[in-house]
Structure 1
Amino acid sequence: MSATCDSDRTRQPAAPAQLTAILIVCCALIVACANAAEAQCSAQDVLRNHLALKGDPPARGTRNSFSSAADVPLWKTIAVGTFRDLAALRSAMGALGCGVGSSAEEIIGRPGFSLSARKAEVELVVVSPAELGFEGETATLQNIYARAQSLGLRLAPAEVAPQLRLQYPDQPIGEFLIMAMEPIRTWAGEPVILTVANGGAGLILIGQDGQDGLDLPVTSRFVFVRPGTSVPPRAAAFAP
């Protein structure tokens, strides 16, 4: 009996040790899952924080504002019309590891989103509301669009946003570029526009509120199409 009791006593400490090891492993898995979830959400969290910031507009040389589209320097030229369908577009984004937010994913599949049937090049500019002449801290989306168009800038087709995401792999961390586009409504009827972002968790395409009356900081950066600079359309080079 004594031998049996001694043997049991020698085995008992192993149970707490095993339990501790199991708890450590479980905690590690929970932390890993939490980190993965944070990586998925952090870009959208940063977007919300970014849009909440108020401050002086970033300097662009000595110019405070632009008086016409001709004054705005070319930023980037991208190609559109390079995908035969949405499945090919999504596949390309997945292959490059580009994230897509839930609302962005939804409007890409809506009837209001379309792909160009023919390949073309589009010249883009990036401006802030402050550079469009807005004073104060914020301006409404409707007024930003109206001012830009009065200067000769044009809204971008919705396709430009995912194409820019694919063709801008070196986007710096912390940059959020709001696509100046006609909002596309979700199934619930909410207007959404797209933002090309790098919030630190990787390159991502995010949907955000596209209501006319939405107030945005004058430091926000918008992507518009430069007028009269597109290469004439040619036969599309479809992705395989």
Structure 2
Amino acid sequence: MSIPKSITRCTAVNRRNRSTACHYLVVLILSVCILQLASSTAQTQCAARDVLERQLKFKTRASEAPQRLIQSERDIATWKSITIGTFADSLKLRNAMDSMRCSVGSQAGEILARPSFITASQKTDMELALVSPTQLGFTSDRVTLADLYSRARKLGFELAPAEVGPQLRIQYFDQPVGEFLIIGMEAIMTWSGDPIILNVANGGAGLILIGQDGRAEAEIPATSRIVFARSRKLAPNTNLIDQAAAVPRE
């Protein structure tokens, strides 16, 4: 970072005239530069360097796909809770990912720009479950999305809103290298009519949100890890909903 010319000129004047005011100006400008640099560094959460530093610090690694057979969604604990509805529209959500240097694949970027991609109208905490097709009872090497979704629904899981993909991307900075998480969601059509679902990934070059084939007949490996939403039971106290609606969004 180069030193502004105003600092150089001000420093020279300060040496000649011993101006206290000029000295304070120099300190102020330097402080602003430092704060801007710190802010820029803090926002690069998804960059490969930041990811690597977190991997070395916390020694995180990709976990193996779950294998234990489950009979219902109550058999497993919540994997992660995230908040959706924190941005007024998908454009602001995309800008947030860009500011954090989270990469977005071409297909993912395209469906984020589609009118059918909507964000929640209010802030909502959502519990997510992480399962594999094997854990849901499939014994073949590959399974279609249609069969996977049907089995998941029968066991009590729900398809996640499309917003879960990008929200999970900016709320899951400690994702291990080599982990690719398919979002169990309704596919969104690209401009050319291709159905796409989202995948939250860390391939080693930084955190990224990518798209993949979302056709009902599309096949995925039985060892894949799928993110579903947990079924939400309506609470008797509706004041919590009213309070959440009162929280301002960006």
The TM-score range, normalised by the shorter chain, is 0.7 to 0.9
Partner of 1:237: 248
Partner of 1:43: none
Q: Structure 1 residues 229 and 125, CA, compared in 2 at 3 Å: closer, same or farther?
A: farther
Q: Structure 1 residues 229 and 171, CA, compared in 2 at 3 Å: closer, same or farther?
A: farther
Partner of 2:10: none
Match of 1:118 among 117, 122, 125: 122
Q: Structure 1 residues 128 and 59, CA, compared in 2 at 3 Å: closer, same or farther?
A: closer
* Deviation sequence 1:169-189 (CA, Å, 0-9, x none): 110000000000000001111
Q: Residue 170 of structure 2 aligns to which amino acid in structure 1?
A: L
Q: Distance in 2 between matches of 1:175 and 1:58?
A: 9
Q: Distance in 2 between matches of 1:170 and 1:95?
A: 17
Q: Distance in 2 between matches of 1:213 and 1:142?
A: 6
| 3-state SS in 2 of match to 1:195 | strand
Matched-pair contact (CA < 8 Å) for 1:175–1:199: yes
| 3-state SS in 1 of match to 2:158 | coil
Match of 1:84 among 76, 85, 88: 88
Partner of 2:101: 97
Partner of 2:7: none
Q: Distance in 2 between matches of 1:221 and 1:125?
A: 10
In the alignment, structure 1 residue 149 sits paired with structure 2 residue 160: no
Q: Distance in 2 between matches of 1:168 and 1:124?
A: 12
Unaligned stretches of 5+ residues in structure 1:
1-38, 40-56
| 3-state SS in 2 of match to 1:126 | strand
Q: Distance in 1 between matches of 2:105 and 2:65?
A: 30
Partner of 1:168: 172
Instruction: Tell me the TM-score normalised to structure 1 length.
Output: 0.72
Instruction: Tell me the TM-score normalised to structure 2 length.
Output: 0.69
Partner of 2:184: 180
| 3-state SS in 1 of match to 2:157 | coil
Q: Distance in 2 between matches of 1:230 and 1:105?
A: 33
Taking every aligned residue pair, what percent have the same amino acid on both sides? 51
Matched-pair contact (CA < 8 Å) for 1:153–1:227: yes
Matched-pair contact (CA < 8 Å) for 1:179–1:195: yes
Deviation for aligned residue 1:59? 6.2
How many matched pairs?
A: 183
Match of 1:213 among 209, 214, 217: 217
* Deviation sequence 1:99-122 (CA, Å, 0-9, x none): 000000000111210011111100
Q: Distance in 2 between matches of 1:149 and 1:109?
A: 28
Matched-pair contact (CA < 8 Å) for 1:165–1:204: yes
Deviation for aligned residue 1:237? 3.2
More moved, 226-235 vs 77-86: 226-235
Q: CA RMSD in A?
A: 2.1
Alignment of 1:17-166 (within 5 A): 58=64, 60=66, 64-166=68-170
Matched-pair contact (CA < 8 Å) for 1:141–1:214: yes
Partner of 2:9: none
* Deviation sequence 1:128-167 (CA, Å, 0-9, x none): 0000000021111100000000000000000010000000
Unaligned stretches of 5+ residues in structure 2:
1-46, 48-62
Matched-pair contact (CA < 8 Å) for 1:126–1:223: yes
Match of 1:201 among 205, 230, 233: 205
Deviation for aligned residue 1:230? 8.1
Q: Residue 113 of structure 2 aligns to which amino acid in structure 1?
A: G
| 3-state SS in 2 of match to 1:196 | strand
More moved, 181-190 vs 220-229: 220-229
Q: Residue 106 of structure 1 aligns to which amino acid in structure 2?
A: E
